[in-house]
Chain A
Amino acid sequence: MRLLEEVYQWTPQDSQTDASFCFYVSEGMKQIRIRFEFSPGTETDPRLCFPPIEKAMNRYYDSYPRALQPMEKESFLPVKNLITISLDKDGVYLGNAHRWATEQEHLISAEQASLGFLPPEKMAGEWHGMLHLHEILSETCTGHLIVEGE
């Protein structure tokens, strides 16, 4: 049974912001399945990638000579967009799937949970979650979140 479906479209201005979501699990449901996809996962366009990479490098070197630790901006390509999911239930933080995967599936029951999450005390009730947009470098990035109860 589908509990939530959200479609997102993000731009670089959405970087370093959170998107909250919530859904309700009714009594008797044993497990939830969270599927989240976003695209693109990486960005290679030098026009988009090099200015922020150079900014990061300048910030890193500060006033130190670059020869002390030479780096090439090309070595940081492709740049990854990074979006992760966190969950909490009944005011208890369950964890975060802080990983790079662009196609994620998380199964959670009261007995076990996918890597990154702890099982909740009980499944039924209101659940809260957040998508954490650590980095969106692509001009547009689309996301699709589906939560199903089983």
Chain B
Amino acid sequence: MKWYPVELHTHTQHSDGDFTVSELVHAAKQRGFHAVCLSDHNTMSGLPELYEAAEREHMVPIPAIEWTTYWGHMLVLDEQGYTDWRGVRPEEIDAAIASIHRNHGLAGIAHPFALDNPINTGYHWDFQVADWDSVDFLEVWSRDNAPCKIQSYRALQLWETLLNRGCHITATSGRDWHREDTYHYAHTYVLAENLTKESVLHAVKAGQICLAAGPLLTMKGIRSDGTQVQIGDTIDAGKIEIELQLDDETMPNDWEKASVTAKEIQLVHNGKVICRLAPDASQRVCVNAASGWLRADLIGSFYGKQDQKIALTNPIYIK
């Protein structure tokens, strides 16, 4: 199994981006991504070009659409069929997500606490989700400078509230990439044996995703019998050995080593930091975990701002 950087949120001239589809795929390849998801606003008209461009660039294409409504934006990945975004009222979102799932698609909330109208139309999530278990993923980091933005703090807070409630919901990062620029972005990594559309979608659904704005922090659990559990998996409560790996050679074309530096790894269990560790390249630590969830965060500096969360894993769930 290997960690692959993928971009799950992009736009082109088929909606309000400046990229042509070919330019987008090429730019993603140049940055070091292995897969790119085309999620134009309310349209899938760019998908035929996506498949052609991805084949040329040896990239994995992920078809998507970003529901761009008055009550929030929602990323819908690989829906086989179509659920109409138009006219869905705030209280009707659960039925819409159920329809997307019937069509084998995944639904994720984009930038839930972004600046709203009139600055960005419909960006703040106002849909009234009753069944949070049905939401496949939550974009906790969005656009540039993600680790340091208030919308990220609030999205992480919502995510932890849902995890504490027992929901298995995957945190993702989305570049929401519209055009070439020189901003500082975070990255989404998926765990897969071989990278295919199916393995990316499986990782999103299963929570086998890590987010990093610089060095990549990954985690796995080791049971007492020596078998391994990946993030997103569930393990019995009790003593668990955790293996942590830190890779600062990842995505070298998209962040500066001198500007994103690791200071400390934190293990977060049910919302509380239970362990603080040096940011070593590889280490194992034993924890006594109760029912709930366990995640690893990397704390460090991000382009001049100290003590930011610069990487995080999705959780291992504990029963």
Q: Which residues of A contact B (CB under 8 A)?
A: 15-16, 18, 49, 52-53, 56-57, 59-62, 64, 68-69, 76, 79-80, 82, 84, 86, 92-93, 95-100, 113, 115-118, 130, 132, 134-135, 137
Report how far A66 CA is from B82 CA in the complex, Å.
41
Closest B residue, CB atoms, query A79: B118
Total of A-B residue pairs, C-beta within 8 Å = 96
Interface check B16, CB cutoff 8 A: yes
Task: Find A113's partner among B42, B45, B118, B149 (CB 8 Å cutoff).
Answer: B45
- Are the CB atoms of A18 and B86 closer together than 8 Å? yes
Q: With contacts A116-B15, A116-B45 known, is A76 near B119, CB below 8 A?
A: yes
Beyond known contacts A68-B148, A99-B15, A115-B13: 12 more, CB 8 A cutoff: A59-B124, A60-B114, A62-B113, A62-B150, A69-B149, A76-B118, A79-B118, A93-B84, A95-B43, A96-B43, A115-B45, A116-B43
Q: With contacts A60-B150, A76-B119 known, is A99 near B16, CB below 8 A?
A: yes
- Are the CB atoms of B70 and A16 closer together than 8 Å? yes
- Output the least CB separation between A95 and chain B (Å): 4
- Output the least CB separation between A144 and chain B (Å): 21
The size bracket of the interface on B is 20 to 34
- Output the least CB separation between A64 and chain B (Å): 5
Interface check B115, CB cutoff 8 A: yes
Report how far A18 CA is from B122 CA in the complex, Å.
14
Interface check B306, CB cutoff 8 A: no
- Are the CB atoms of B45 and A117 closer together than 8 Å? yes
When distances are taken between beta carbons in the complex, the residues of chain A under 8 Å from B118 are 49, 52-53, 56, 76, 79-80, 135, 137
Bitwise interface map of B from 50 to 88 toward A, beta carbon under 8 Å scored 1, else 0: 000000000000000000101000000000001010110
Task: Find B148's partner among A62, A69, A80, A113 (CB 8 Å cutoff).
Answer: A69
Bitwise interface map of B from 92 to 126 toward A, beta carbon under 8 Å scored 1, else 0: 00000000000000000000011111110110100
When distances are taken between beta carbons in the complex, the residues of chain A under 8 Å from B44 are 95, 118
When distances are taken between beta carbons in the complex, the residues of chain B under 8 Å from A117 are 43, 45
Interface check B184, CB cutoff 8 A: no
- Output the least CB separation between B122 and chain A (Å): 6
